[in-house]
Amino acid sequence: MKFVLFLVGTLVLLQNAPKPEQPCLEHFESPRFPRLARQVAIQGKVLAAAIVDRQGNVSSAEAITGHPLFKEVAVANLRTWKFQPNSVADSRIEVSYEFLFEDTAPSLGEAVSYDLPNRVRIRASPPPPMGDPAPHSQKEALVESQLARPDASSERLDGVKAEFFV
């Protein structure tokens, strides 16, 4: 009889124990829309779960549903996140996020928004058609502008020395 009362009392205490809240995100990196998915115009949603340890690190992450291209990106991204340390001793908190990968208008490029607390929206425009020239990087544009100048000699580009001969 004492054992039954002990068991019932323990269950009542466990049910009334405060549940850990959603941990506060301190550091995150924006996920990228997979290039192959953009090229073949795939859109989709990934439901991913992660375990956050007492120090606020993501100790494990897994994708529960979604397209394999998107699952890989979502899990890799979640593993880079850092949360505020948990004040409850020896506790781990499970969090879940929905990653939405969506197409946008060609002129909008790529954008990431966070619909807190549990949704990450990644929007990307389709890549340019095969006949269009690829957009230049800033470094390529600088090199081309330097080559067009008759008085160009040398300049440092992001830590790389570029020589220009006239």
* In-domain check, residue 10: no
Check whether residue 120 and residue 140 sit in a common domain.
no
* In-domain check, residue 6: no
* In-domain check, residue 113: yes
Number of domains into which the chain is organized: 2
| Phi, psi values for residue 37, rounded to 5° | -65, -35
Q: Splitting the chain (166 residues) into consecutive groups of 10 residues, what average pLDDT does each group show?
A: 47 46 86 91 95 93 96 96 80 92 84 87 82 51 49 41 33
| Inter-residue contact 69 to 42 (CB < 8 Å) | yes
Dump the DSSP string for 55-71: TSBEEEEEEEES-HHHH
Q: What's the rounded Cα separation, in Å, for the pair 135 and 142?
A: 13
Check whether residue 144 and residue 164 sit in a common domain.
yes
Domain hosting residue 150, numbered range: 136-166
In the prediction, which pLDDT does 130 show? 62
Check whether residue 143 and residue 110 sit in a common domain.
no
Helix (H) or strand (E) holding 34: none
Check whether residue 73 and residue 124 sit in a common domain.
yes
In the prediction, which pLDDT does 77 show? 96
Check whether residue 104 and residue 33 sit in a common domain.
yes
In the prediction, which pLDDT does 68 show? 95
* In-domain check, residue 43: yes
In the prediction, which pLDDT does 117 show? 80
